[in-house]
């Protein structure tokens, strides 16, 4: 991104982008706004596929605005997509891994070339602010490249093992990682680029063929990924893009016996159901599940409170609290509570809420009416049991009346309230004080989730935090985000406990291997 400026966009660097990036975003937005509302087909076996029923993709910032018309894919479409992927598998899996790497790298470059188009689509259909939107697209290209780098660093995962200590024979052994077959990728609305593209890139590089199904709220971003793969020259049928409801199309894909593996990213409840349904096949198949979070931050009396305040507010309210990594619980040492909380409130009150494509806006709308109602329900519960430090209301009047806008909300709540353990996925964060850090750690770990966690304290407290916290991605003393903002190759992303099934993080050293099973090849020759 903006190579001539030397700027590398990550979620850590996105707060100070070069001016050129804004200019290009604005130009692309103006151009794209003139032809919204077009119809987009699915792609099955390399062909554009339309279905009888359609659905509208509307902007959550302005529900009058129809962004595009998408296909309500049927069970037949699901079957056709799996058939196409199955047919393409033998040739793709036998394509030398170096050629697969070259094609996926080319697709990554095409994402880079279209990055502002991706950014505009992500801002319009998800409601991401422009930097979050561009970040999601840039992360996707880097996830593609990271999977390619891993294939190369491991020479395609063909490794010679020990030779058997036999007399009169030469017995060689090789470990070879090989693809499974048809891989299903089901993605959530909140990172429709990285969480559709990341698993797809890894699955393809490994030699699987793919069926990708995005969330109903975010079909457009996934269509752009499909176009980049197609335009890079990935053969017909190797990837297939279908759109439609999870409960029908998604379920049909999960139940299809020819699907060899799945990566599902989404809520705990849907993920666990998929895990059980997928487990009812004829044999055990790999299911990579990336699920929800209830991410804590602990602030001790030795913390840099300004760094803590900035990091917490960024992670609590970035993307309207709709990140699996969002900082939804904050535990603060009682001696610094009265210093830190007013600063959290002050920074929260400065956040601009509005049209996510506007440069000054930090919080766009929540994604749909259901999330808007969730916010009203949760704030109702908080009003009854605790109290708001700031926020607590949906926003109305003017442009707010057309979309799903909510005030970023900080609240105090009794520690035995169920909302301390439930993922809310809206811009609400609860804060509480603690007396000693062991108590804070107990509370931090006392949830079913274990995705990300943050800590602010003295350097000699940091190892204690890392050693005791139960989470897959952990950050200490980080103003760029207390619990959010992982980047491939820097902070591979994945969860423990109810937050993830594989124990290996995306964009990391052990990820692409999840898309392959091992074959040991022993060859004996008499000598
Ligand atoms: N751990 C992670 O890396 C990670 C990342 C992003 C989001 N998430 C989680 O995702 C959730 C938010 O996303 P969401 O609201 O889109 O999640 P969701 O669970 O409602 O939906 C996720 C996907 O599953 C599909 N789906 C729904 N029912 C299905 C079924 N029966 N069969 C097959 N597919 C089905 C949906 O259409 C969508 O594509 C949050 O819980 C968040 O924490 C986790
Ligand atoms: N990878 C993102 C979160 C993705 C989940 O929603 C982060 O690190 O903040």
Domain 295-486 of CATH type 3.40.309.10: yes
Q: Which ligand minimizes its atom distance to the CA of 327? A: 2
Enter the tokens of residue 87. Answer: 């047919």
Binding site membership of 287 for ligand 1 (Cβ less than 6 Å): no
ipTM rounded to 2 decimals: 0.99
Q: What pLDDT is attached to residue 4?
A: 60
pLDDT tens-place string over residues 154-173: 999 999 999 999 999 999 99
121 CB near ligand 1 (under 6 Å): no
The closest alpha carbon to 266, from 227, 223, 312, 217, belongs to: 217
518 is known as an active-site residue = no
Mutation pick for ligand 1 pocket among 267, 326, 450, 514 (CB with most ligand atoms within 8 Å)? 267
Mean pLDDT per 10-residue interval, the chain, length 527 residues:
74 92 97 96 98 97 98 98 98 98 98 98 98 98 98 98 97 98 98 98 98 98 98 98 96 97 98 96 96 98 98 98 98 98 98 97 98 98 98 97 98 98 98 98 98 98 98 98 98 98 98 98 97
Closest atom of ligand 1 to CA, residue 292: 43
423 lines ligand 1 (CB under 6 A): yes
Token digits of residue 270 = 């849907």
What is the CA(461)–ligand 2 centre distance, in A? 25
Report the Cα–Cα distance between both ends of the chain, in Å, rounded. 58
In the set 125, 227, 290, 423, the catalytic residue is 290
Give the nearest ligand 2 atom to 481 CA: 9
Question: Are the CB atoms for 451 and 308 separated by under 8 Å?
Answer: no
CB 455 within 8 A of CB 434: no
Q: How far is the CA of 166 from the centre of ligand 2 (A)?
A: 52
Ligand 1 center to residue 348 CA distance, Å? 28
- Can you tell me which atom of ligand 2 is nearest the CA of 452? 8
Which of 136, 484, 488 best tests ligand 2's pocket when mutated (most atoms within 8 Å of CB)?
484
Q: For residue 491, which atom of ligand 2 is closest to its CA?
A: 8
| Start and end residues for every CATH 3.40.605.10 domain found in the chain | 10-291+504-522
Can you list the alpha helix ranges (DSSP code H) found in 114-260?
Answer: 115-126, 130-153, 194-206, 219-232, 251-255
Q: Among all ligands shown, which has an atom nearest to the Cα of 290?
A: 1
Residue nearest (by alpha carbon) to ligand 2 atom 1:
486
The preferred substitution site among 13, 291, 486, 487 for testing ligand 2, maximizing ligand atoms within 8 Å of CB, is 486
Give, in order, the Cα–Cα distances in Å from 186 to each of 11, 174, 212, 508.
Answer: 23, 33, 6, 20
Quote the ligand 2 centre to 452 CA distance (angstroms).
Answer: 9
pLDDT of residue 172: 98
CATH number for the domain whose boundaries are 10-291+504-522: 3.40.605.10
Three-state secondary structure readout of 152-186: HHCHHHEEECCCCCCCCEEEEEEEEEEECCEEEEE
Is residue 103 a contact partner of residue 116, using CB atoms and an 8 Å limit? no
The full 3-state SS of 401-425, as one line of letters, equals HHCCCECCEEEECCCCCHHHCCCCC
Q: Which residue is listed with tokens 């999330």?
A: 371
- Give the residue, by CA position, lying nearest to ligand 1 atom 23: 188
State if residue 368 touches ligand 1 by the CB under 6 angstroms criterion.
no
- Nearest Cα to 328, choosing from 339, 341, 318? 318
Q: How confident is the model at residue 6, as a pLDDT?
A: 83
Q: How far, in Å, from the CA of 483 to the mean position of ligand 2?
A: 9
Compute how many other C-beta atoms are within 10 angstroms of the C-beta atom of residue 159. 13
Atom of ligand 2 minimally distant from the CA of 290: 5
For residue 315, the ligand 2 atom closest to its alpha carbon is: 9
Residues of the chain with CATH 3.40.309.10: 295-486
Residues whose CB falls within 8 Å of the CB of residue 368, separated by 6 or more in sequence, listed in order: 60, 217, 404
Nearest residue (by CA) to ligand 1, atom 6, is 324
Cβ–ligand 1 contact at 201 (below 6 Å):
no
State the distance from the centre of ligand 2 to the C-alpha of 490, rounded, in angstroms: 13
For residue 135, the ligand closest to its alpha carbon is 2
| Nearest ligand, CA 501 | 1
| Cα 186 to averaged position of ligand 1 atoms, centre (Å) | 8
Residues with Cβ within 6 A of ligand 2? Answer: 190-191, 323-325, 484-486, 493
Which atom of ligand 1 has the smallest separation from the CA of 187? Answer: 39
Among protein residues, the one with the nearest Cα to ligand 1's atom 38 is 215
Å from CA of 82 to ligand 2 middle: 29
CA-to-CA distance for 318 and 96, rounded, in angstroms?
41
Question: Whose alpha carbon is nearest atom 5 of ligand 2?
Answer: 324
Give distance in angstroms: CA of 353 to centre of ligand 1: 25
């Amino acid at each position: 991104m903006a190579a001539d400026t030397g700027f590398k966009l990550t979620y850590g660097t996105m707060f100070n982008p070069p001016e050129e990036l804004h200019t290009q975003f604005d130009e692309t937005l103006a151009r794209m706004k003139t032809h919204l509302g077009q119809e987009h087909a699915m792609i099955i076996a390399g062909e554009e596929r339309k279905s009888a029923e359609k659905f509208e993709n509307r902007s959550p910032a302005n529900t009058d605005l129809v962004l595009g018309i998408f296909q309500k894919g049927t069970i037949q479409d699901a079957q056709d997509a799996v058939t196409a992927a199955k047919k393409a598998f033998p040739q793709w899996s036998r394509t030398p891994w170096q050629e697969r790497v070259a094609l996926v790298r080319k697709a990554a470059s095409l994402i880079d070339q279209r990055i502002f188009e991706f950014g505009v689509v992500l801002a319009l259909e998800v409601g991401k602010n422009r930097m979050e939107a561009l970040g999601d697209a840039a992360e996707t290209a880097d996830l593609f490249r990271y999977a390619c780098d891993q294939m190369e660093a491991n020479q395609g995962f063909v490794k010679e093992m020990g030779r058997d200590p036999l007399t009169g024979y030469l017995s060689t052994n090789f470990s070879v990682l090989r693809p499974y077959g048809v891989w299903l990728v089901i993605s959530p609305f909140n990172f429709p680029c990285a969480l559709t593209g990341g698993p797809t890139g890894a699955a393809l590089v490994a030699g699987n063929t793919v069926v990708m199904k995005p969330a109903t709220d975010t079909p457009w971003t996934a269509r752009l990924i499909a176009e980049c793969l197609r335009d890079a020259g990935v053969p017909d049928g190797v990837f297939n893009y279908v759109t439609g409801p999870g409960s029908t199309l998604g379920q049909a894909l999960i139940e299809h016996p020819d699907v060899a593996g799945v990566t599902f990213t989404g809520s705990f409840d849907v993920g666990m159901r998929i895990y059980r349904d997928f487990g009812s096949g004829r044999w055990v198949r790999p299911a990579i599940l990336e699920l929800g979070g209830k991410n804590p931050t602990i602030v001790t009396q030795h913390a840099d409170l300004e760094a803590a305040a900035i990091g917490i507010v960024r992670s609590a309210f970035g993307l309207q609290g709709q990140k699996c990594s969002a900082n939804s619980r904050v535990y603060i040492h009682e001696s610094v509570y009265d210093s830190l909380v007013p600063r959290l409130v002050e920074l929260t009150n400065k956040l601009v809420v509005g049209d996510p494509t506007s440069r000054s806006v930090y919080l766009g709308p929540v994604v749909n009416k259901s999330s808007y109602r969730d916010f009203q329900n949760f704030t109702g519960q908080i009003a009854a049991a605790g109290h708001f430090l700031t926020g607590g209301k949906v926003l109305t009047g003017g442009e707010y009346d057309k979309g799903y806008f909510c005030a970023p909300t900080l609240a105090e709540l009794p520690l035995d309230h169920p909302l301390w353990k439930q993922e809310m996925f809206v811009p609400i964060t609860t804060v509480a004080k603690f007396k000693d850090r062991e108590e804070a750690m107990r509370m931090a770990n006392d949830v079913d989730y274990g995705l990300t966690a943050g800590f602010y304290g003295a350097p000699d407290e940091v190892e204690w935090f890392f050693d005791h916290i139960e989470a897959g991605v952990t950050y200490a003393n980080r103003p760029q985000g207390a619990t959010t903002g992982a980047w491939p190759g820097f902070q591979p992303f994945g969860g423990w406990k109810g937050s993830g099934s594989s124990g290996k993080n995306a964009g990391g050293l052990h990820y692409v291997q999840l898309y392959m099973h091992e074959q040991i090849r022993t060859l004996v020759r008499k000598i």
